[in-house]
Chains A and B, each alone.
Chain A
C-alpha cells in the first residue's frame, strides 16, 4: 500500500517540481483562507464543534503552463493537526486543448447541492453535507484532457487511482454505523466490519468522458463513466462461529454511468435539467434477512429539474430530484437504509445581499418527500472589511428519523465562523 502511494507520489512531485522550475517564476501568487468555526448543538446543549482551517493556494504561470497547489491544515476538537493537499496539478495550454495532470477536483453537471452526473470526484462527508462545497469535493489523481472545437468541448478523464468518499469517524456526531435494516443491534454491535478496497492496479482505474456545448441558446453536456461506487456497500455476512465474531464484508463495486445535463434561459428564468442512468450498480440485498446479505446489481436513474430566477434583487432557486431503481424489491439496501423504488427530493434556495453586498442572507432547504424530512439551512454573512467575513447560521434537521436528514435530528445546530481571506 505504502509502496503504491510512493509510486504515485514521487512522479507527481517530480512533475510538479520540474514544472515549477520551468516556470519563469515571474508570475506566482499565494493566497488563502483562514477560518475559525464553532457550532452549538441544541440536543446536547454543547459546543460540539470548534475547528480551525487554513486553506492555502499557490499558483504559478509560465508561457503555456500553470501549476496549482492547494494544501490544507485542519485542527478539530481533538486538537490534532491534519495536513492535506486537496489539489496539486499542472496545466498545459495548447492551441485547441488543455491538459491537466495531478490531483484535481472535477465537477460536472447542473445540480446544486445534489450529485447526479457529478461522480468523478468523491466527497468528503465527515461533516455530512454541511462543509463548504469546495471542501466536500475531494481531489483525485487524474489526467484530464479538454479538446475545444468551436463551441464544443470534448473531455476525457483517466483517474489513475480510485479514491473513496471520506466517511465520518465513528467518534463523530455524523457517524452512521454501516447497517442492515431489521438487524438486531446486538448483531451489528458484535460484528466486525471488513472493508476491501480495490487493488491499485491499472485495471482498477476509472474512466470518464464528456461532450459539452457552450452556447447562447443552451449549454448542454453528454457524459459517461466507468467507475467504482464512491461509498462502500455490504457484500457478505459471515455469521458468528463461536468464539469468532460475525464478519460483515464491505466493498466498492464497478458500474457504468451515462447521463446528460442542460441549462437554458426561459424568459427571465434559467431552466436546469440533469439526468443519469447507473447501469448494473451494485447494492446490498437481503433476500431472507440480514444474515443473507449479498450483492445484487440494478439499474438506477437519478434526474433533476431546476429553475433559477431573480426578483427584486433576490436570487431564488428550486430543484426537484427524482430517483428510480429498476427491477426493485423490498430487500434492497443502500447506505444502511432500505432502498426505495422511487424517491422525491426538493430543494429551495433564497439569497439576497444588503448594504452594498456587506450583508448576505441565504436560506437553503432540502426536503425529502417519503418519509417527510428536511434540512433547513439559514445563514447571514457580514463582510466586516474586504476579505474578513463573520458568518452565523442555523442547520436544522427535522422530520421522520428514517429519512436522510431526519436521522440527524439530534444534530441540529447553530454555528458561527470568522473567515479571513488573504
Chain B
C-alpha cells in the first residue's frame, strides 16, 4: 500500500515536473503578458461604459461614459465623455499614452468652467471616478513595468488558463503582486487578484462576460471587488465596435468641448 502511494506520488511529481517544464518551455511569464498586451484590440474602439458602484452597505450609484480609443505606432489616444450622473455630465477626459515610455498626457474639460485643464501628475494609482478601478486598471499596463512568472494552469469555464504572477518593479507599489488568469492562445484575462504587502488579496477582478466583436476579443462585463472596503464596481460595455472610421480630430480639445457627437 505504502509502495503504491509512493509510486503514485512519484508519478504525480514527475508529471507535474514535465508539465512545468513543458509549460515554461512553451511560454514564459513575459511572453504571456506581452501577448496579452499586444493582442489585437483593433485600430480603434468605441463603446458606452455603464459603471455601477456598490458600497459596503449595498447602496449603488451609476455612472455612464461614452469612450473612444485609437491606437497607432506612437501609442494610444483615448477620449471619454461623461454622460451621467447629471452633475458631471458633459465633462470630458482626453489622454495620450506613448509607446516609448513617456508619461501620459491628460486633459480634462470642465463645462462649468468652459476650460480644458492639463491634469497634473501620474494618476495611475488613483481611483477612476470614485470606483474600485484605478486609472491603471482602466488602461493597459505595459508588461515591462513588472516581472512575470507562469505559476500553473487552471481551467475556468472550460477554458485553459495560464496563471501568471506579476511583481511590480516600482519601489513602493500599491500591490505587492498580482495573479492573472489568462486564456491560452486567446490572451484575454478572465480573473485577476491584487495582493497587498501582507499577503492578503486586496482587490479581485472577475469577468462575467466576454465576446468576439468585429474579430476582436472584448470583455463586456466585469466586476472589481475591494476586499478592504467591502465595495465593488461593475463595468458593462455596451454598443462596442472596433475599427470604425474615426477621424484624428476626435482626440482633440475641439471634440472635448463639442461632446460625444462624432
Contacts and interface: CB of A to CB of B under 8 A. Distances in A.
Interface in A310-329: 310-311, 313, 315
A47 interface: no
Contacts of A358: 130
Most chain A CB within 10 A, of B87, B105, B117, B127, is at: B87
Contacts of A355: 55
Given A216-B105, A356-B53, A357-B129, A148 B86 contact: no
A93 B118 contact: no
B121 A387 contact: no
Given A268-B122, A421-B86, A356 B113 contact: no
Given A61-B261, A214-B252, A313 B126 contact: yes
A268 B121 contact: yes
A contact residues, range: 35 or more
B212 interface: no
A249 interface: no
Contacts of B116: 214, 219
A310 B121 contact: yes
Given A265-B105, A356-B231, A421-B86, A105 B120 contact: no
Nearest to B53: A356
B87 A105 contact: no
Contacts of A263: 117-118
A219 B113 CA distance: 17
Contacts of B118: 219, 263-265, 270, 308
Given A146-B254, A421-B85, A308 B113 contact: no
B91 interface: no
A386 B103 CA distance: 33
Given A270-B120, A310-B123, A358-B130, A389 B87 contact: yes
B112 interface: yes
B7 interface: no
Interface in A143-184: 146, 148, 151, 153
A398 B254 CA distance: 41
B141 interface: no
A356 to B, nearest CB: 4
A353 interface: yes
Interface string B114-137: 111111111100110111000000
A134 B252 contact: no
Given A308-B120, A309-B121, A357-B130, A133 B112 contact: yes
Contact of B96 (A31, A216, A309, A422): A216
Interface in B22-40: none
A162 B53 CA distance: 48
Interface in A89-117: 93, 98, 105-107
A200 interface: no
B120 A310 contact: yes
Contact of B85 (A107, A310, A386): A386
Nearest to A354: B130
A98 B105 contact: no
Contacts of A421: 85-87, 89
B227 to A, nearest CB: 15
B156 interface: no
A385 interface: yes
Nearest to A385: B61
B182 to A, nearest CB: 29
A380 to B, nearest CB: 16
Contacts of A43: none
A46 interface: no
A195 B22 CA distance: 90
Interface in A350-392: 353, 355-358, 383, 385-387, 389
Interface in A74-101: 93, 98
Nearest to A309: B120
Contacts of A383: 87
Contact of A387 (B86, B115, B253, B254): B86
B145 interface: no
B258 interface: yes
A148 B256 CA distance: 14
B211 interface: no
Nearest to A270: B120
A417 B86 CA distance: 17
Contacts of A269: 120-121
B254 A153 contact: yes
Most chain B CB within 10 A, of A148, A313, A356, A389, is at: A356
B71 to A, nearest CB: 16
Interface string A378-422: 000001011101000000000000000000000000000001011
Contact of A98 (B96, B120, B254): B254
Nearest to B112: A134
Which 7 A-B pairs rank lowest in CB-CB distance, beginning with the nearest?
A357-B130, A310-B121, A386-B85, A421-B86, A356-B130, A308-B120, A421-B87
14 contacts: A31-B86, A107-B113, A133-B112, A214-B252, A219-B116, A265-B118, A268-B121, A310-B126, A315-B120, A355-B55, A356-B130, A356-B231, A386-B85, A387-B87
Interface of B: 53, 55, 61-62, 84-87, 89, 96, 103, 105, 112-123, 126-127, 129-131, 231, 249, 252-254, 258, 261
Given A33-B87, A98-B258, 17 more contacts: A98-B254, A146-B254, A148-B249, A148-B252, A153-B254, A216-B96, A219-B116, A219-B118, A265-B120, A268-B120, A308-B118, A313-B127, A356-B61, A356-B131, A358-B130, A421-B86, A422-B86
